[in-house]
Amino acid sequence: MTYQDDNIFAKILRGEIPSHKLYEDADTFAFMDIMPRGDGHCLVIPKKPSRNILDVEEDSLAAVARTTQKLARAVLRAFSADGVTVQQFNEPAGGQVVFHLHFHIIPRFEGVPLRPHTGEMEKPEILAANAEKIKAALAAS
């Protein structure tokens, strides 16, 4: 399978679709998931095109891993979470829906299950408020 540059995350990177940006550096971009499975659910993607972990360049994967760790620490602080779930899916059989490498970061709380992935979008004002919490935690680190 090859990378298709018409995917939604490529469009977000190009500024064609708005997002609630959390963090950006030369190699990565982090933003809120619009269909969160928990409060504070966010995504980290590489700027270099890659379909998934099977075709990503090593330097790009290393950059995404560093940013994923940075965001995982921030969401723990921002939401006073008990833990964090990091998920990454590859190809349709592996659960991948958007074919641009991405890592899900979801703050977790003891006894609270993940919400189901229903395809229902979160209210923009809630996403914006949660993004501000995460950005404040990033700034404090």
Terminal-residue alpha carbon distance, the chain: 39
Reduced 3-state DSSP string for 93-128: HHCCCCCCCCEEEEEECCCCCCCCCCCCCCCHHHHH
CA distance 33 to 86: 13
Bridge partners (DSSP) listed for residue 116: none
Q: Which pLDDT band holds residue 36 (cuts at 50, 70, 90)?
A: very high
What is the model's pTM? Answer: 0.96
**pLDDT(119) > 90:** no
- Give the pLDDT of residue 112: 96
Cβ pair 61, 103 in contact under 8 A: no
Amino acid (one-letter) located at 8: I
Catalytically active residues, by annotation: 102
Mapping DSSP to helix (H, G, I), strand (E, B) and coil, where does residue 11 land?
helix
At residue 60's C-alpha, the angle toward residues 66 and 38, to 5°, is: 50
Tell me which CATH code domain 8-140 carries.
Answer: 3.30.428.10
Q: Which pLDDT band holds residue 141 (cuts at 50, 70, 90)?
A: confident
Cβ pair 130, 19 in contact under 8 A: no
Q: pLDDT tens digits, residue range 40-49?
A: 999 999 999 9
Cβ pair 109, 70 in contact under 8 A: no
Q: Which pLDDT band holds residue 139 (cuts at 50, 70, 90)?
A: very high
Q: What are the domain boundaries of the chain?
A: 8-140
For 13-33, what is the mean pLDDT? Answer: 98
